[in-house]
Amino acid sequence: MKIGVFGGTFDPVHQGHIELVKTAIEELDLDLLYVMPNGNPPHKEKEWDKKHRLGMVKLAFRNIPKVEISDYEINKEEPSYTYETLTDFQKEHPDDEIYFLMGMDNLSYFPNWKHPEIICKLAKLVFFGRCGYERTEEGVKAIREQFGAEPMLISFGWDISSTEIRSELGQGTYIFHKLPFLVYQYIIRNGLYDCPSVKEYDSFEEDLKNYIEEKRFLHSIGVAVTAYRMAIRYKEDPKLAYFAGLLHDIAKRMPLDKQLDLCKKIELHPDEVAYPKMLHAPAGAGFVKKKYNIKDKKLLSGIRYHTMGHKDMTTFDKLIYMADYIEPCRNFDGVEDLREATFSNLDEAIIKGIDTTILSLVEEHLKISPVLLEVRNDLLEREQKGR
Ligand SMILES: [Fe+2]
Ligand SMILES: [Fe+2]
CATH number for the domain including 37? Answer: 3.40.50.620
Query: Ligand 1 centre from 98 Cα, in Å?
Result: 48
Specify whether 227 is located in the same domain as 293.
yes
Q: How many domains does the chain have?
A: 2
Specify whether 285 is located in the same domain as 376.
yes
pLDDT on residue 385: 84
One-letter amino acid of 362: V
Q: What confidence tens digit (pLDDT) does each residue in 243-264 have?
A: 999 999 999 999 999 999 999 8
Give 273's pLDDT tier (boundaries 50, 70, 90): confident
Asked if the model's pLDDT at residue 166 lies above 60, the reply is: yes
Specify whether 361 is located in the same domain as 320.
yes
Specify whether 138 is located in the same domain as 217.
no
Specify whether 9 is located in the same domain as 131.
yes
Specify whether 208 is located in the same domain as 229.
yes
Query: Ligand 2 centre from 160 Cα, in Å?
Result: 30
Query: Ligand 1 centre from 215 Cα, in Å?
Result: 13
Asked if the model's pLDDT at residue 267 lies above 80, the reply is: yes
Specify whether 205 is located in the same domain as 351.
yes
Query: Ligand 1 centre from 53 Cα, in Å?
Result: 33
Burial of 241 (0-12, 13-18, 19+ CB in 10 A): buried
Specify whether 50 is located in the same domain as 186.
no
One-letter amino acid of 323: A
Q: What confidence tens digit (pLDDT) does each residue in 102-158 have?
A: 988 888 889 999 999 999 999 999 999 876 666 788 888 999 999 999 999 998 876
Specify whether 213 is located in the same domain as 361.
yes
Residues 17-27 have a mean pLDDT of 95
What is the number of the ligand closest to the CA of 325?
2
pLDDT on residue 252: 96
- Cα torsion 40, 41, 44, 50: sign: negative
Specify whether 134 is located in the same domain as 213.
no
Q: Among 131, 147, 162, identify where a domain stops.
A: 162
Q: What confidence tens digit (pLDDT) does each residue in 317-365 have?
A: 999 999 999 999 999 889 999 999 999 999 999 999 999 889 988 999 9
Q: Among 112, 143, 162, identify where a domain stops.
A: 162
Specify whether 215 is located in the same domain as 72.
no
What is the number of the ligand closest to the CA of 245?
2
Beta strands in the chain (DSSP E): 2-8, 32-37, 67-69, 97-103, 124-129, 152-155
Asked if the model's pLDDT at residue 83 lies above 70, the reply is: yes
Specify whether 100 is located in the same domain as 6.
yes
Query: Ligand 1 centre from 283 Cα, in Å?
Result: 10
Domain of residue 264, CATH code: 1.10.3210.10
Query: Ligand 1 centre from 382 Cα, in Å?
Result: 26
What is the number of the ligand closest to the CA of 222?
2
Asked if the model's pLDDT at residue 198 lies above 90, the reply is: yes
What is the number of the ligand closest to the CA of 251?
1
- Cα torsion 166, 114, 116, 112: sign: positive
Give 47's pLDDT tier (boundaries 50, 70, 90): low
Q: What is the dihedral of CA 254, 257, 261, 262, to 10 degrees?
A: 20
Query: Ligand 2 centre from 124 Cα, in Å?
Result: 48
Q: What confidence tens digit (pLDDT) does each residue in 53-77 have?
A: 999 999 999 999 999 999 998 888 7
Q: Among 162, 190, 216, identify where a domain stops.
A: 162
Range of the domain at 307: 169-386
Query: Ligand 1 centre from 324 Cα, in Å?
Result: 7
Give 387's pLDDT tier (boundaries 50, 70, 90): low
d(CA 102, CA 99): 10
Q: Check if the beta carbon of residue 287 is closer than 8 Å to that of residue 250.
A: yes
